[in-house]
């Protein structure tokens, strides 16, 4: 479902990773681990298509990462505390994305479902800029699920979430068993929730 062939990314002269080959079959959850600065976020951005690889190739179901066809297949929550529109309410942030992915009646139902799954209902009408980091992270993570994309990319989804909400997050993924998921995390507890682990190599 998701493939890297000889993938590499540099920033100027700084090589973050190189020669990375990876295949993530459908339905598999892959955990990205590694110390600070080893390139987990960079790799996720390359898979999401918001950053180009310097070398090699990344594909989603055979489509080049970042192409319109690949983007349709991918739900993303990278920097989940920071990616909402601050003036809009959580609900409207969710509706904005739902309306891009679904016809209007289905969009309303999909937003209601994720608001319930992540217990967002209580503060969904508050402007996002008045929400706490954890509240914003909940909304961003829930937003990635809208429209049921078959591939999900998460960067430290549990970083700002309390234990109860982390449980809600995993329960939401468990309810969607066919998903292919790549998730970066520093939390030991996430290891048991994933099928495979890729430890990012320290760049030389």
Ligand X SMILES: Nc1ncnc2c1ncn2[C@@H]1O[C@H](COP(=O)(O)OP(=O)(O)OP(=O)(O)O)[C@@H](O)[C@H]1O
| Residues contributing to the site for ligand X (CB under 6 A) | 11, 16, 34, 36-42
> To the nearest whole angstrom, how small is the minimum distance from the Cβ of residue 27 to ligand X?
25
What is 35-101 written as a DSSP string?
A: STTSSHHHHHHHHHTSS--SEEEEEETTEETTSHHHHHHEEEESSTTT-S-TTSBHHHHHHHHHHHH
CB 9 to ligand X: min, Å: 8
Residue 130 or 186 with smaller CB distance to ligand X: 186
**Minimum distance from residue 16 beta carbon to ligand X (Å):** 5
Residue with tokens 């918001």: 50
Q: Given the complex with ligand X, which of 41 and 59 has the nearer CB atom?
A: 41
Residues 73, 151 contacting (CB under 8 angstroms): yes
What does the block give as tokens for 19? Answer: 């020669």
**Is 196 in contact with 30 (CB distance < 8 Å)?**
yes
The least CB distance from residue 3 to ligand X, in Å, is 20
Closer CB to ligand X, residue 46 or residue 124?
46
Report the candidate in 200, 195, 196, 182 with the shortest Cα–Cα distance to residue 2: 182
36 or 62: whose CB is closer to ligand X?
Answer: 36
Residue whose CB is less far from ligand X, 34 or 134: 34
């Amino acid at each position: 479902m998701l493939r890297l062939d000889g993938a590499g990314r540099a920033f100027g002269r700084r090589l973050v990773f190189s020669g990375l080959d990876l295949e993530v079959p459908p339905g598999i959850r892959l955990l990205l681990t590694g110390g600070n600065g080893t390139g987990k976020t960079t790799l996720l951005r390359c898979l999401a298509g918001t950053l180009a690889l310097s070398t090699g190739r990344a594909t989603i179901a055979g489509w080049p990462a970042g192409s319109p066809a690949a983007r349709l297949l991918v739900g993303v929550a990278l920097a989940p505390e920071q990616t909402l529109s601050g003036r809009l309410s959580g609900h409207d942030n969710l509706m904005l994305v739902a309306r891009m992915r679904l016809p209007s009646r289905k969009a309303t139902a999909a937003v209601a479902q994720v608001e319930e799954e992540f217990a967002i209902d209580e503060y969904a009408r508050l402007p996002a800029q008045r929400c706490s980091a954890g509240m914003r992270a909940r909304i961003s993570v829930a937003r990635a699920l809208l429209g049921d994309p078959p591939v999900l990319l998460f960067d430290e989804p549990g970083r700002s979430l309390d234990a109860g909400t982390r449980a809600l997050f995993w329960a939401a993924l468990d309810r969607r068993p066919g998903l292919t998921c790549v998730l970066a995390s520093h939390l030991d507890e996430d290891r048991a929730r994933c099928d495979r682990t890729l430890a990012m190599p320290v760049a030389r």
